[in-house]
Amino acid sequence: MKRLGTPIPDLVLLEPRVFEDERGFFFESYNKRVLADLGLCQEFVQDNHSRSRRGVLRGLHYQMPQPQGKLVRVVTGEIFDVAVDLRRSSPTFLQWYGVKLSAENKLQLYVPEGFAHGFLTLSEWAEVLYKTTDFYAPQYERCIRWDDPQLRIEWPLDPGVQPVVSPKDAAGVPVEKADLFP
């Protein structure tokens, strides 16, 4: 596995070593020892799996005061995955990074604690798997609006097209009213 750089140093893009031939392919999607060698020593405690149709936007989610780091990958389809730095003390505070993750490119994104996370489904269907460093705690769940003008996230939406969001995500708060990390 190879660690790729991102404009936000704490976000880590991972490229697995894929063994492919006429039968198909094989790769390690998780190896605790390899990730530790790459500087990711987090302990993962929960695996999540979501399926979304084209145009569905999930996020921007985070938990506070029980934050979760997430290791995100796609096993079917393609998404535009976004992380936003919500740590006031960070030099990249309120900066975002977006990357296409797909079953084809097999890239993974590690989103550390202190970031909001969301994604837009680009393919007909996408299945997303992600490991978390802490358990889901609904009482600590927070959501920032996906279209917050202060963040200026460049979602790859066709002009005039609105994404499909859940009522909970539609009720997300602007970043200026959100609980943020120190």
Choose, from 110, 117, 130, 140, the residue flagged as catalytic.
Answer: 130
Catalytic residue among 61, 62, 97, 117: 61
Round to whole Å and give the CA distance between 85 and 133: 17
Instruction: Tell me the per-residue pLDDT of 134-162, one tens digit each, with 9 for 90 and over.
Output: 999 999 999 999 999 999 999 999 888 89
Confidence of residue 42 (pLDDT cuts 50, 70, 90): very high
pLDDT, residue 159, reads: 86
3-class SS string, 24-47? EEECCCCCHHHHHHCCCCCCCCEE
In the chain, what are the domain boundaries?
Answer: 43-177
Is residue 49 part of the annotated active site? The answer reads no
Q: Which pTM value belongs to this model?
A: 0.95
In CATH, the architecture of 43-177 is Sandwich (2.60)
130 part of the active site: yes
